[in-house]
Homo-oligomer: A and B are copies of this chain.
Amino acid sequence: MSYFDVASSAPLHPVARQALIAALDEGWADPARLHREGRRARLLLDAARETAADAVGCRPDELIFTPSGTRAVHLGVAGVRAARRRVGSRVVVSAVEHSSVLHAAGDDAAEVPVDRFGRVDPAVFAGALTADTALAALQSANHEVGTVQPVAEAAEACRAAGVPLLVDAAQSLGWGPVDGDWSLLTASAHKWGGPAGVGLLAVRKGTRFAPQDPADERESGRSPGFENIPAVLAAAASLRAVRAEAAEGGLRLSALVDRIRARVPALVPDVEVVGDPVRRLPHVVTFSCLYVDGEALLHELDRAGFSVSSGSSCTSGTLTPSHVLRAMGVLSEGNVRVSLGAGATEEEVERFLGVLPGVVSSVRERLGAPGAASAAAPGAGPVVVDALGKRCPIPVIELAKVIGGVPVGGTVTVLSDDAAARLDIPAWCGMRGQEYLGEERRERGSAYGVRRLV
């Protein structure tokens, strides 16, 4: 078995395991109590905070532990918004933030777009910072495609505009501290091999902050609930440990990712590798396979011994493609994210590259995907493909099947009520050199126009 999904959750680092088990016997008492068990727990909590603050690059009294990265984001966003209520209610976020940030920011947040690599333009980000902006948020690196964001530039712009910047560092903190003069930083221990149950929230001195949860004396009044000291200790110890291994491990994994980025398009036809090829996390690579059902692909890879994740619509509860892929404007069908753990080997990656072409072609075959150039019923006039009620990747497969029968210059209209079609039909046109004519809403679904150019 090869577990290639550490960006979702990493197995426990040996140092975390050791620290956690040791602290089960030492850190179970209430650190607010005056007796020796309480004092011992308090010492352990203080030590964990020192270690974690050192790795984050902040003062211990600027750092609190939360029960998860999600809670760190929620508490951070709520605390700043409330403290800056008089300034305004506007929240600026990148369009590719983690869902915890987007949900905390709310539906009326101002979303800064990204390029096809998933990267924010710092000038555009700076331009979004109006006088009534309460808070801005930019991830250090994207969780789905690995693209590193220009956080230092964004932080500088935020300082100039007097807007606090929250950096969601969930995917990058194990690799190194976040550069730049940010105001808030959040992270999640289980992403770097720490245990579940631990998030970090750093709030720089001078950042106006008003906790919104009911009063509670724990964690400087900023994160209610009994402290999870064994987990917090394990989180801090493993953060220090993975940092010590980061430089060497990063180079090794980055080379493996480069190999996947180069080889997958050569091995598998009709694949788009997405995300920034250079400014990226060392261990994450994402690609999308035309005419492939993401869920089927995941299952086949799982059967072949590889655990990966996907941003395809069919793998989400809502049947909509990942908002990250959507914001990037890239193909979402047959999407695969590979995120390598520290122990990933060249052999595993080679085995993956060996298995992938057969897996993709078997899924395509089952779906009746078109070959390199397929012929279909010719005919005069516009061709309409009725894919209503059909899910990704069927609408694109149907389109690809008929386009060969349409004369160059002729059009195909695809009727679809699948959310992924909005992303995948234009993406297919881009990959195939055809012209995308746009979308027209219908009573049920939409009509997508395509003109054959080649």
Interface residues of A in 6-34 (CB under 8 A from B): 8-12, 17, 20-21, 24-25, 28-30, 33-34
| Chain B proximity of A68: nearest CB distance (Å) | 3
Chain A residues within 8 Å of chain B by Cβ, number: 65
* Chain B residues near A38 (CB-CB < 8 A): 5, 8, 307
A74 within 8 A of B: yes
| Chain B proximity of A358: nearest CB distance (Å) | 19
**Chain B residue nearest to A74 in the complex (CB):** B214
A36 within 8 A of B: yes
Interface residues of A in 220-277 (CB under 8 A from B): 224-231
Question: A1 near B36 (CB under 8 angstroms)?
Answer: yes
**Chain B residue nearest to A234 in the complex (CB):** B24
A17, A34, A226 pick with most chain B CB within 10 angstroms = A226
**Chain B residue nearest to A20 in the complex (CB):** B24
Question: A302 near B35 (CB under 8 angstroms)?
Answer: yes
Q: How far is the CA of A224 from the CA of B199 in the complex (A)?
A: 12
**Binding stretch for chain B, among A54-62, A188-196, A343-351:** A188-196
Q: How far is the CA of A1 from the CA of B29 in the complex (A)?
A: 14
**Chain B residue nearest to A191 in the complex (CB):** B226
| Chain B proximity of A302: nearest CB distance (Å) | 5
CB contact under 8 A between A69 and B225, given known A103-B216, A104-B214: yes
**Chain B residue nearest to A303 in the complex (CB):** B36
Q: How far is the CA of A223 from the CA of B190 in the complex (A)?
A: 18
Question: A37 near B229 (CB under 8 angstroms)?
Answer: no
Question: A103 near B215 (CB under 8 angstroms)?
Answer: yes
Q: How far is the CA of A190 from the CA of B33 in the complex (A)?
A: 15
Question: A5 near B24 (CB under 8 angstroms)?
Answer: no
Question: B35 near A216 (CB under 8 angstroms)?
Answer: no
A11, A214, A309, A315 pick with most chain B CB within 10 angstroms = A214
Question: B33 near A309 (CB under 8 angstroms)?
Answer: yes
* Chain B residues near A214 (CB-CB < 8 A): 74, 77, 100, 103-104, 106
* Chain B residues near A24 (CB-CB < 8 A): 12, 17, 20, 195
| Chain B proximity of A346: nearest CB distance (Å) | 22
Per-residue contact bits, chain A 402-415, to B (CB 8 Å; 1 contact, 0 not): 00000000000000
A317 within 8 A of B: yes
Q: How far is the CA of A11 from the CA of B37 in the complex (A)?
A: 10
Question: B5 near A224 (CB under 8 angstroms)?
Answer: no
A197 within 8 A of B: yes
Question: A34 near B100 (CB under 8 angstroms)?
Answer: no
Q: Which of B11, B37, B301 contacts A28 (CB 8 A)?
A: B11
Question: B5 near A33 (CB under 8 angstroms)?
Answer: yes
Per-residue contact bits, chain A 60-84, to B (CB 8 Å; 1 contact, 0 not): 0000000111110010010000000
* Chain B residues near A230 (CB-CB < 8 A): 195-196
| Chain B proximity of A335: nearest CB distance (Å) | 13
Q: How far is the CA of A67 from the CA of B197 in the complex (A)?
A: 7
* Chain B residues near A299 (CB-CB < 8 A): 34
Residues of A participating in the B interface, judged by any CB pair closer than 8 Å: 1, 3, 5, 8-12, 17, 20-21, 24-25, 28-30, 33-38, 67-71, 74, 77, 99-100, 103-104, 106, 188, 190, 195-197, 199, 213-218, 224-231, 295, 298-299, 301-302, 307-310, 315, 317
